[in-house]
Amino acid sequence: MWYNLRPILLRETNVNKGKLILLNPPGDKLYVRDYYCSFSSKADYCWPPQDLLYLSGILDEDFKVEVIDAIIEKKSPEDVLSALSDDSVRGVIFTTGTATLKSDLQLMERFKRDHDIPVIASAGIMPFIGQELLDSYPFIDGILLDFTEKDIAAYFKGERSKPLRGMVYRGEGGEIASDVKASRDYSVPVPRHDLFPLGKYRIPLAKRHPFAEVVTSLGCPYSCAFCTAGAYGYRTRDVEGVVEELKMLSGMGVKELLFQDPTFTINTERVKAICRGITDNGLDFTWSCNGDIKALDEEKIKHMRAAGCHTISVGIESGSDEILKKYSKPITVESIKAGVALMNRYRIRVLGYFIVGLPGDDRESILKTIDLARRLNLDYASFAIATPDIGTRLRAEALEQGWISSDDNVFDSTDFPILETDQLSREEVWALRKAAVRKFYLRPSYLMKKVGQLRSWRDIRSAASNALSLFRKS
């Protein structure tokens, strides 16, 4: 095996305790359930669900934890139901999201027909629809509102006489909900990365393999109208716990990291402290992260580059200042250009996230967005369809304008649009999104640049696989 499990196995004192299953349910596509959003992979990439990852550490002390990632392991619903039917299973926590909510609930309903075992749902949408799910689906026993709270272990140990933090669940006398506000800072036990099929996860940004996902903060201090992360506020994890996790991953042989915070680059001192944790401990990582144009500066980028950062993914969203302002994105086209140029100067690759079809977008503004993506010196561009995510102001606007109904809660930002506005039909938005992909990736200059970056047969295989998957959708 490519990793060393010894540091982890020394902790495994729970083999005789009840088994809990952390489930990433199956799907008919390569779905990424990324807590705040869920979508089908635009290319050939997939990483572990962050809620299940960090629950594995929280539950490990009291239970034997088993992970079933049916997406990356290509398990069918029947495979999963068979695995869950093991008599030693004492409970199931499944992750879900708007792209797969219907099929995930159907699977859990099938399971509960024959098993009287607690089933808990987890997703970033749960604070907004969790109570509704409990009311509508009696086979769901509880809703996890915060995957960093340790009371989830108390629930499975039967300690339910008082409200539990981070949960809404069914009690004998009805629903019991905690109204305790989450603290700004949090700490979690080191996750059981070894329980996940790390060798199977893949991202096109990675320079080395295998890679692991690490989360150092939750939520976002900004309030962009199309994103759910801002609805949670911004919470930070203790840096010592982050560094402990990085040391463990290094001991396992992990070489590549994805810092999957919604906004890793927000706080300069935190970024510097994490980077020092890598360099001062001699940890050999290359890594990528989500950043934000507004918070990037030269001092921060210097520390990130020195600690192994090679790629920053930033939300650009639109080439129209009017659209950016309407949806509370705190940047302008000029600040976008300056931020990308700064990353280019330090030889950090840039992935730009764009949204096509926001209300107010018309053909001209989307063409401006495509033109901006082509003119910026980006290494990658991700063009998502505007979706009225549960918990966002965009959804409230869409409901108010009659663009969707309250029953429209299953959608995928990489699939055919759900929104149709006065400016553009769904078919027009879809055609423009496909045109954006082709116009960005099929430029001769871009193709020559990417071919020049190939260094190994693994690079060639990865590039070919991602290209085929990307253009199959476009």
| Residue 336 binned pLDDT confidence (cut-offs 50, 70, 90) | very high
Please tell me the predicted confidence (pLDDT) of residue 438: 94
Residue 172 CA to residue 38 CA, distance in Å, equals 33
Which ranges constitute the DSSP H helices of 319-425? 321-326, 333-345, 363-375, 393-401
In a domain, 1, yes or no: no
Residue 37 CA to residue 392 CA, distance in Å, equals 11
Q: Is the same domain home to 216 and 166?
A: no
393, two tokens? 């102001």
Residue 388 CA to residue 244 CA, distance in Å, equals 38
What residues does 24 pair with on adjacent strands? 69
Q: Is beta strand 19-24 parallel, antiparallel or unpaired with respect to 89-95?
A: parallel
Between helix 239-251 and helix 268-280 the angle, nearest 10°, is: 30
Please tell me the predicted confidence (pLDDT) of residue 228: 87
Which of 263-277, 317-331, 337-351, 459-473 shows the lowest mean pLDDT across its residues? 459-473
234-237: strand order across its sheet: 185-186, 234-237, 217-219
Please tell me the predicted confidence (pLDDT) of residue 3: 42
Is there a contact between 413 and 98 (Cβ–Cβ < 8 Å)?
Answer: no
Q: Average of pLDDT values for 10-16?
A: 47
Q: 316, 214, 192, 293: which is closest to 260 by C-alpha? A: 214
Instruction: Quick: pLDDT tens for 260-282.
Output: 999 999 999 999 999 999 999 99
In a domain, 244, yes or no: yes
Higher pLDDT, 8 or 285: 285
CA atoms within 13 Å, Cβ hemisphere of 234: 11
Q: Is 185 helix (H, G, I), strand (E, B) or coil?
A: strand
Q: Average of pLDDT values for 162-182?
A: 73
Q: Is the same domain home to 214 and 166?
A: no
Residues 6+ apart with CB under 8 A from 446: 440
Q: Average of pLDDT values for 39-60?
A: 91
Q: Is the same domain home to 130 and 74?
A: yes
Q: Is the same domain home to 376 and 244?
A: yes
Q: Is the pLDDT of residue 244 over 50?
A: yes
**Tell me, what DSSP letter sits at residue 35?**
S
Q: Is the same domain home to 280 and 420?
A: yes
Q: Is the same domain home to 154 and 212?
A: no
Q: What distances in angstroms separate CA 198 from CA 66, 72, 249, 253, one per listed residue?
A: 14, 10, 11, 11
Q: What distances in angstroms separate CA 333 from CA 23, 320, 324, 397, one per listed residue?
A: 41, 7, 9, 24
pLDDT > 70: what percent of the chain?
89
In a domain, 187, yes or no: no
243, two tokens? 């560094």
Q: Is the same domain home to 211 and 339?
A: yes
Is there a contact between 318 and 369 (Cβ–Cβ < 8 Å)?
Answer: yes
Which of 66-75, 158-167, 286-295 shows the lowest mean pLDDT across its residues? 158-167
In a domain, 385, yes or no: yes
Please tell me the predicted confidence (pLDDT) of residue 176: 66
Angle (CA) 245 246 250, round 5°: 120
Instruction: Quick: pLDDT tens for 183-208.
Output: 678 999 999 999 999 999 999 899 99
232, two tokens? 């949670």
In a domain, 24, yes or no: yes
Higher pLDDT, 317 or 13: 317
Q: Is the pLDDT of residue 181 over 70?
A: no
**Number of structural domains in the chain:** 2
404, two tokens? 């969707």
Q: Is the pLDDT of residue 331 over 80?
A: yes
Residue 453 CA to residue 241 CA, distance in Å, equals 35
Q: Is the same domain home to 171 and 224?
A: no
Residues 6+ apart with CB under 8 A from 102: 410
Q: Average of pLDDT values for 307-333?
A: 96
CATH code of the domain containing 322: 3.20.20.70
Rounded to the nearest 10°, the torsion over CA 53, 55, 60, 63 is: -120
Q: Is the dihedral of CA 208, 209, 215, 219 positive or negative?
A: positive
Instruction: Quick: pLDDT tens for 141-166.
Output: 999 999 999 999 999 999 887 788 89
Residue 339 CA to residue 327 CA, distance in Å, equals 20
In a domain, 453, yes or no: no
Residue 314 CA to residue 438 CA, distance in Å, equals 20
**249-252 contact pairs (CB < 8 A, 24+):** 249/193, 249/212, 249/214, 249/285, 250/281, 250/283, 250/284, 250/285, 251/4, 251/6, 251/7, 252/3, 252/4, 252/5, 252/7, 252/8, 252/193, 252/194, 252/212
Please tell me the predicted confidence (pLDDT) of residue 5: 39
Q: Is the same domain home to 319 and 228?
A: yes
Between helix 268-280 and helix 298-306 the angle, nearest 10°, is: 20
Q: 95, 318, 350, 122: which is closest to 224 by C-alpha? A: 318
Q: Average of pLDDT values for 274-291?
A: 97
In a domain, 455, yes or no: no
Instruction: Quick: pLDDT tens for 416-470.
Output: 999 987 889 999 999 999 999 999 999 988 877 766 665 565 655 555 555 555 5
Looking at every residue in the chain, the average pLDDT score rounds to: 89
| Residue 40 binned pLDDT confidence (cut-offs 50, 70, 90) | confident
Q: Is the same domain home to 127 and 252?
A: no
| Residue 13 binned pLDDT confidence (cut-offs 50, 70, 90) | very low
| Residue 371 binned pLDDT confidence (cut-offs 50, 70, 90) | very high
Instruction: Quick: pLDDT tens for 373-395.
Output: 999 999 999 999 999 999 899 99
Q: Is the same domain home to 71 and 36?
A: yes
pTM for this prediction: 0.90
Structural domain range at position 303:
203-441
Is there a contact between 35 and 123 (Cβ–Cβ < 8 Å)?
Answer: yes
Element (H, E) at 466: helix 457-473
pLDDT > 90: what percent of the chain?
72
Instruction: Quick: pLDDT tens for 83-136.
Output: 999 989 999 999 999 999 999 999 999 999 999 999 999 999 998 898 889 989
> Residue 298 carries which side chain, given as an amino acid letter?
E
| Residue 6 binned pLDDT confidence (cut-offs 50, 70, 90) | very low
Residue 320 CA to residue 234 CA, distance in Å, equals 27
In a domain, 245, yes or no: yes
CATH code of the domain containing 114: 3.40.50.280
Q: Average of pLDDT values for 18-25?
A: 96
Angle (CA) 145 149 150, round 5°: 130
Q: Is the pLDDT of residue 210 over 80?
A: yes
